[in-house]
């Protein structure tokens, strides 16, 4: 089982800007390798999709990711040629326009992923590894 640590309490449905900026999630397998990463991408007041080193670092490290950013950020990544992790990660949050709802959807999916064990976890890791390798190769070949 994966362990989830966070300074955000989704049950209270209250997340301050400070908490968003300090969001820390620690997902460890027994061997200290993370099964996925939650990336809080840089956002702006104009809700323009952009990808920074935060996302690219995750791709270089070949990790599956949930991308907490402006709506349609995963669409933006797919337009750039990258694959995302549907159906292994529920990416419906990417279509949500309301910031609070989108955050809560990401947290719910994080909890679901953290509860994966046994064959479900093995399948998740095996299938997402293929996508991670594709994305890594795409990024390396673009640079």
Instruction: Spell out a b/e string for 14-48, using b for 16 or more CB atoms within 10 Å of the CB, else e.
Output: ebeeeeeeebebebeeeeeebbbbbbbbebeeeee
Helix (H, G, I), strand (E, B) or coil at 6: coil
What does the DSSP 8-state code read for residue 37? E
Write the pLDDT tens digit of every residue in 33-86.
Answer: 678 888 888 665 556 667 777 888 889 989 999 998 889 999 999 999 999 999
Q: With a threshold of 0.95, does the pTM exceed it? A: no
Q: What is the mean pLDDT of residues 13-20?
A: 43
Closest to 139 (Cα-Cα) out of 69, 72, 65, 86: 65
Under 8 Å between Cβ of 85 and 78: no
Lowest mean pLDDT among 24-38, 43-57, 111-125: 24-38
Eight-class DSSP state of 115: T
Q: What angle do CA 131, 36, 56 make, to 5 degrees?
A: 65
Q: What pLDDT does 90 receive?
A: 97
């Amino acid at each position: 089982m994966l362990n989830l640590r966070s300074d955000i309490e989704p049950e209270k449905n209250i997340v301050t800007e400070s908490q968003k900026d300090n969001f820390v999630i620690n997902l460890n397998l027994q061997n200290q390798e993370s099964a996925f990463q939650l990336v809080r991408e840089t956002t702006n007041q104009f809700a323009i999709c952009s990808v920074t080193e935060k996302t690219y670092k995750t791709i270089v490290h070949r990790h599956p990711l949930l991308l907490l950013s402006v709506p349609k950020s995963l669409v933006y990544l797919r337009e750039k040629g990258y694959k995302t992790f549907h159906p292994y990660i529920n990416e419906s949050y990417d279509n949500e326009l309301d910031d609070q709802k989108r955050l809560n959807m990401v947290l719910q999916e994080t909890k679901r992923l953290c509860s994966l064990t046994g064959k479900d976890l093995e399948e998740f890791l095996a299938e997402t590894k293929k996508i991670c390798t594709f994305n890594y190769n795409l990024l390396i070949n673009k640079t």
